[in-house]
Structure 1
Amino acid sequence: MSEYPDLLILRHGETTWNREARMQGAQDSPLTAAGRAQARHQGAVLSAFGCEGHAWYASPQGRAWQTAELANTQGAAITADARLAEIAVGDWSGLLFDTIRAEAPHLFEDADSLAWYDHAPGGEGLAAVAARTLAFLDALTGPAVVVTHGITSRILRCHLLGLPWSRFDTLQCGQGVVWHLSKRQQQRLS
């Protein structure tokens, strides 16, 4: 594993589909009022922490991009990077989690595991997310603010912590959260 620059990783704020417990994947739904407030709070956290001189990168998906714009109180240029997009879930996009569980209950026998993402019909798969996020990290040349999604954030943090990416489901993830990662350590700032 390479030594990576310091990163501040944000998950987008709450969306209407998050609230409805729908799979978004490559699709999008708008931030809720709570999601916009979470993004503004992330901006306040970043301002207090200090992120001057950090490059800004965001998933091009609307929910992450809008979060980046709201959190970017310093007006830094934001670069869209498709390697930060959320895992594509194919035919499950737009479905309620309960519908997926009812259609494929065997995938959810281990309540602590999120490995069921690998079984989405027409989906991307976790290994593909791990490969593209590692390529993103390997291309970084300095400290950065990264605005992304739940699964993508966890896999990014596994790389940065020196964990196998397959352990992504052991990491916490919340909307409106800011993680500081430095020298294989992470700290939740919000």
Structure 2
Amino acid sequence: MTYPEVYILRHGQTAWNLEGRMQGELNSALTEQGKQEAARQGAILAQCDLTGFAFFTSPQGRAVQTAGIACAPLAEIIRTDDRLREIGVGDWSGLLRDTLPLPDAPDPFMAQYEIAPNGEGIAAVRTRCSSFLHDLKGPAVIVTHGVTGRTLREILAGPEAIKGTTIHGGQGCVYHLKNGSQNLLT
């Protein structure tokens, strides 16, 4: 399937990111560094021709806060879409990541999401990301989260788009995806 051109932003650093907590569907505010990362994303986007682009964000506070800093000067309307929320981590919400079991897997941190009790799981995230992209009618700027953004990028540009990336990265970055290819803008 051919998808419209998109820019994907992960929210800036939060207090819980700094502490190493699993956020999932819970929220914590952006740190000062997170606010600076969002401002940097806005500066990157300001250099792009976004004529005709729609703006979407996860409804979770950290993404909305990032969208407000990075996109509000550029967007007439920023719409929230529940399908862009972060993966649910069930009973592990709010817990310190380093106190939780870490599977023996090629990417143990992503595998951790699959074993979270009452968690959502990667397949469910993929389903809602695919639904969002299927409904996308034109080019868009998307503000989302680590796992959700990674999943969107994999759908749009294939497994090479996430090769070598980790769940801990991506804050302050802007990914440009067009015609099945991905570029990291800095």
Q: Same fold by TM (over 0.5)?
A: yes
Identify unmatched segments of 5+ residues in structure 2.
Answer: none
Corresponding residue of 2:95 = 95
TM-score (norm 1): 0.90
Match for 1:185 among 178, 181, 184? 181
TM-score (norm 2): 0.92
- The percent identity for this pair of structures is 49
Matched residue of 2:40: which SS? helix
Corresponding residue of 1:149 = 145
- Say whether 1:122 aligns with 2:121: no
Corresponding residue of 1:16 = 15
- Say whether 1:34 aligns with 2:29: no
For 1:35, give the aligned amino acid.
Answer: G
Partner deviation per Cα, 1:103-125 (whole Å, 9 max, x = no partner): x24x2x23634222111101111
Contact kept, 8 Å, 2:5 with 2:140, in 1: the verdict is yes
**How many pairs does the alignment contain?**
182
Cα deviation for residue 169 of structure 1 reads 6.6
Contact kept, 8 Å, 1:22 with 1:96, in 2: the verdict is yes
> How far, CA to CA, are the matches of 1:150 and 1:178 in structure 2?
12
Identify unmatched segments of 5+ residues in structure 1.
Answer: none
Query: Cα distance 1:185–1:152, how it changes in 2: closer, same or farther (>3 A)?
Result: same
Matched residue of 1:57: which SS? strand
> How far, CA to CA, are the matches of 1:184 and 1:15 in structure 2?
30
Mapping for residues 9-88 of structure 1, pairs under 5 Å: 9-72=8-71, 73-88=73-88
Cα deviation for residue 171 of structure 1 reads 3.7
Matched residue of 2:67: which SS? helix
For 2:27, give the aligned amino acid.
Answer: D
For 2:43, give the aligned amino acid.
Answer: A
Matched residue of 2:8: which SS? strand
Partner deviation per Cα, 1:134-169 (whole Å, 9 max, x = no partner): 0000001100000000000010001101349xx957
Contact kept, 8 Å, 1:154 with 1:169, in 2: the verdict is no
> How far, CA to CA, are the matches of 1:27 and 1:40 in structure 2?
23
> How far, CA to CA, are the matches of 1:35 and 1:116 in structure 2?
24
> How far, CA to CA, are the matches of 2:153 and 2:170 in structure 1?
13
> How far, CA to CA, are the matches of 1:28 and 1:75 in structure 2?
24
